[in-house]
Amino acid sequence: MRYIDSCPLSQHIEIDMEPATEQFAIRLKSCPDCTAQMPDHAAFCPGCGHAMQMKPLTGPKLALRRENLLGALAYVTFLPALVFLLRDPFRRDPFLRFHSVQCLLLWLVSVVAVALLRLSAFLLVLIPVIGPLLVVLSVTITALAALLVWIVAVVKAFQGERFALPLIGGLAEQYCNVP
């Protein structure tokens, strides 16, 4: 269909009004369940909702290595970290030594943070009404932050990464590189 527009200032303008879909070739595929037609890149069938992704979406598989498992185990408490630093076959491994030292430093920072939190809680509780609320809020935020840091450290060690935590990771890295 052609449309001719007449404008007093210009010549006649012809506009092509054919649908744009005829200009592009769209590859179609059919649903294996209901045989509805859809574009080749469709993720779900518009007729029945069946997922069209037939290929399993698998990422790279993590190889369960002994050193990764031991590195994650170092963060469970400070005891495995001490054992790994004192026992001869374990202390030679730089990956395990890094995570053991970082775990011990994390425990040290945690003990100092708890001592400071108790001192500030003693002072905050003296403030009427809002003091105890601030104590509960600060203890909750500190505990959640410590839990998050611990989970990140365990997961990164299990994945085989030498993830250096802020402030203490550099110290652990320095100790790890010393023969």
Residues 116-165: pLDDT tens digits? 999 999 999 898 889 999 999 999 999 999 999 999 999 999 998 888 88
Exposure of 143 in the CB half-sphere (CA atoms within 13 A):
7
Sequence ranges of the domains in the chain = 2-39, 66-177
pTM for the structure as a whole: 0.60
pLDDT in tens, 18-73: 555 555 567 778 888 888 887 877 777 888 877 876 544 444 555 578 888 998 89
Q: Answer whether 108's CB lies under 8 Å from 94's CB.
A: no
